[in-house]
Amino acid sequence: MTGPQRTEYAVAVVGAGVVGLYTAYHLAQAGVGPVLVLDRGFLSSGASGRNGGGVRQQWETRATVRLARESVAAYRRFGRDFGYNIWFRQGGYVFLAENEVALGRLRIVHQTVRSEGLGSRILDEAGVTRLVPGLAAGAAVGGTYLRTDGTLYPFPAIWGLYEAVRARGVEVALGVEAVGVEQEAGRVVGLVTRSGSVRVPKVVNAAGGWSGDLSRSVGLEVPNRATRHEILATEPIKPFLDPMVVRPSDGLYFSQTMRGEIVGGLTVPHEPGTAQGMGSSAAFLPRMAAALTRLIPRLGGLGVLRAWSGFYDDTPDGFPVIGEDPRLTGFYHANGFGGHGFMLAPASSRRVAQSVMGEKTDLDPGLFGVGRFFTPGEAPRAERLQLG
């Protein structure tokens, strides 16, 4: 692809995934421009095109629940707002507990979610079995369930956002890699790409798994690290499963698509960083197959159609990083979402855009600001429900 068409912009967004495109959309809606979005790959080449499409509101902390609840509302009206059907199905999420200790942890999550006005339910073993037919006897002592959680298809969401921002005058340059930021007196004055430099006073780092690399390239130390996670899709079978199913103990998650495929993943440790690429490992398929068939034996005969991987952009405390970096005026973070950029993008990107426009947001900087990682005495808080 060709490089940027202008020499000067008001804002440059690095990353054309769901967070970057949503941020550009909010900026364009507010009349900010010209805006440039650039991405090192093709549309959907990063995590936004490599995820399982889950969107849930069950989280440990109120702040994350609120972002997720707002995002679910946005996805419900996505078709009306953007003219693309993302097939958002609110079949719910079931979190499984294989023992009483795990169920106790889920009860705490349930209480937080209920306190935010959402209809979370505690399930016993029979309740789980009703929602997950064919579950092996003794596989779960109970769990939690929220009916308004669901799944969507990522690709039409990305294309809808892509067309919407371009219709509003945003320039999207694909296949153009950002390699640095020009600075003067502690302020952003330009963005350097492999296709040349542009003058711009504000840069948004929405580069997903590569966001830590970008921040460090401009002299900003951040704890973000890219971790590879794997996923597969089976051949289709007659639909039997409505909710997304998640087991926190080992990171197992899976759902059934409208075509009948089982789509899901399992945590398999990999070396951090993007250098390893996004292939599939020899360890993943047998571990995933064993986990699924022990849980639902009837799935043992299914063939696997495809397997792939993508990068989570992880932070030590499980919260994303949102807002301007106090060490470099004009450099804004929209990253650190782990594997949950799609879940939180509509609400989070609105706060990113507000920050870029100089508006105060309702986010606690102690939870979401980059300063939490280098401010002495900050209390250690964490969002540990980082899967599925």
Question: Residue 51 — left, alpha, or beta (φ > 0 → left; ψ -120 to 50 → alpha)?
Answer: beta
**Dist CA 251 CA 154 (whole Å):** 21
What is the pTM (predicted TM-score) of this model?
0.96
Q: What is the DSSP letter of 338?
A: B
Question: Please, where in the chain does CATH 3.50.50.60 lie?
Answer: 1-89+150-224+315-388
Domain 1-89+150-224+315-388: state its class.
Answer: alpha beta
**Dist CA 87 CA 141 (whole Å):** 32
Q: What is the DSSP letter of 47?
A: G
Write the CB contacts of 7 (distance below 8 Å, at least 6 apart in sequence). 198, 199
Amino acid at the residue 339: G
**Dist CA 21 CA 13 (whole Å):** 8
Question: Please, where in the chain does CATH 3.30.9.10 lie?
Answer: 90-149+225-312
Q: Residue-wise pLDDT tens for the chain (388 aa)?
A: 578 999 999 999 999 999 999 999 999 999 999 999 999 999 999 999 999 999 999 999 999 999 999 999 999 999 999 999 999 999 999 999 999 999 999 999 999 999 999 999 999 999 999 999 999 999 999 999 999 999 999 999 999 999 999 999 999 999 999 999 999 999 999 999 999 999 999 999 999 999 999 999 999 999 999 999 999 999 999 999 999 999 999 999 999 999 999 999 998 989 888 888 888 899 999 999 999 999 999 999 999 999 999 999 999 999 999 999 999 999 999 999 999 999 999 999 999 999 999 999 999 999 999 999 988 776 567 887 766 5
Q: Which CATH architecture has domain 90-149+225-312?
A: 2-Layer Sandwich (3.30)
Both tokens of 232, joined, read: 């597969």
Burial of 310 (0-12, 13-18, 19+ CB in 10 A): buried
Burial of 325 (0-12, 13-18, 19+ CB in 10 A): buried
